[in-house]
């Protein structure tokens, strides 16, 4: 069950844990940035190469670096905290993403027809307007038709828009408080967008989805505008939303996250067909895709 903690001490602990989460993971760059061969691999505190997709726990836990992923969750007040992998820092344009079809799933820049992908500036915005990334150990199954949108998933980890005041770095692990969710329908696929804020942000304790408009006026409206229009400069039609673009609350968002986490579990245990997705991992010991530390090092060195 969820453990209730005193709010103020709980959030102080959360902020300390957030700093600890960053120190528990590091990244190693291979290749040159802004090139097709660029990769950002991940290591844990023991120096082992890991998959950010599969080996970093979804739920933030005080013992996460020592446990089988996702066995425990931690709360501050009534909040369950999640680990977010930052792929794209705010105000940048390069479409960086977890490489789901490569072993150990490093971060790379997406390509299309052999060319690196960058998002257009949707006036008056510059690049991505949040720190953009994903929740580990989640998967939007394309073969599962969502009851709400009527569409299958987009075959990726669930996306996160982190709206805190800091500009994060690609590869950074941030513990976040979930505020709500936006249901995007992107080219016929369900593409949930979790709205969250880092627990180390000064506004994290007081802000909820209903009062984002008060503390960060225009941000939610800009988010809908951005997702509706960001592919138009590439000659594609506007995107659409379920719920007429309305943001659903935290409880709704957490249920969506838990559902995608169950889909990920099925993927890692061969109970769902992931197609070309690579499930190689180092820490999910009961998964048939678990490999040795030496095998993981060989993947990176190759």
Judged by average pLDDT, the poorest of 61-65, 208-212, 253-257 is 61-65
pLDDT (average), residues 243-257: 95
Which two structure tokens, joined as six digits, stand for 68? 């089988």
pLDDT (average), residues 254-270: 97
pLDDT higher than threshold 80 for residue 73:
no
The contacts found for 6-11 with CB under 8 angstroms, 24 or more apart, are: 6/77, 7/76, 7/77, 7/205, 10/75, 10/76, 10/77, 11/76, 11/77, 11/199, 11/204, 11/205
Q: How much is the mean pLDDT over the chain?
A: 89
pTM across the whole model:
0.88
- Residues contacting 258, CB < 8 A, separation 6+: none
Largest CA distance in the chain: 53
pLDDT tens-digit profile of 135-160? 999 999 999 888 888 888 889 999 99
pLDDT tens-digit profile of 159-208? 999 999 999 999 999 999 999 999 998 878 889 999 999 999 998 988 99
**DSSP letters of 256-269?**
HHHHHHHHHHHHHT
Domain spanning 26-301, CATH architecture: Alpha-Beta Complex (3.90)
Domains in the chain: boundaries: 26-301
Which position has the higher pLDDT, 284 or 189?
A: 284
pLDDT at site 15: 57
């Amino acid at each position: 069950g969820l453990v209730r903690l005193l709010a103020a001490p709980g959030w102080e602990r959360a902020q300390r844990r957030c700093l600890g989460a960053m120190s528990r993971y590091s990244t190693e760059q291979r290749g040159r940035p802004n090139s097709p061969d660029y990769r950002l691999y991940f290591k844990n505190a023991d120096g082992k190469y890991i998959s950010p997709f599969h080996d970093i726990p979804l739920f933030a836990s005080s013992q996460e670096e020592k446990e089988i992923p996702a066995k425990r969750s931690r709360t501050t007040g009534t909040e369950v905290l999640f680990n977010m992998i930052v792929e794209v820092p705010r105000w940048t344009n390069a479409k960086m993403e977890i490489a789901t079809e490569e072993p150990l799933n490093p971060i790379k820049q997406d390509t299309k027809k052999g060319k690196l992908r960058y998002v257009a500036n949707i006036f008056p915005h510059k690049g991505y307007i949040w720190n953009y990334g994903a929740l580990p150990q989640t998967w939007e199954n394309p073969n599962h038709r969502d009851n709400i949108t009527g569409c299958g998933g987009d075959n990726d980890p669930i996306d996160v828009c982190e709206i805190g005041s800091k500009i994060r770095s690609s590869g950074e692990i941030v513990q976040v408080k979930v505020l709500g969710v936006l249901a995007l329908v992107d080219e016929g696929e369900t593409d949930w967008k979790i709205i969250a804020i880092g627990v180390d942000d000064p506004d994290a304790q007081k802000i909820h989805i209903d009062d984002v408009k008060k503390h960060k006026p225009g941000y939610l409206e800009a988010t809908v505008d951005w997702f509706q229009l960001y592919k138009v400069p590439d000659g594609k039609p506007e995107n659409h939303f379920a719920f007429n673009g309305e943001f659903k609350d935290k409880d709704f968002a957490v249920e969506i996250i838990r559902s995608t986490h169950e889909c990920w579990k099925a993927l890692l245990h061969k109970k769902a067909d992931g197609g070309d997705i690579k499930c190689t991992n180092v820490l999910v010991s009961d998964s048939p895709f678990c490999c040795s530390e030496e095998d993981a090092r060989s993947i990176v060195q190759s």
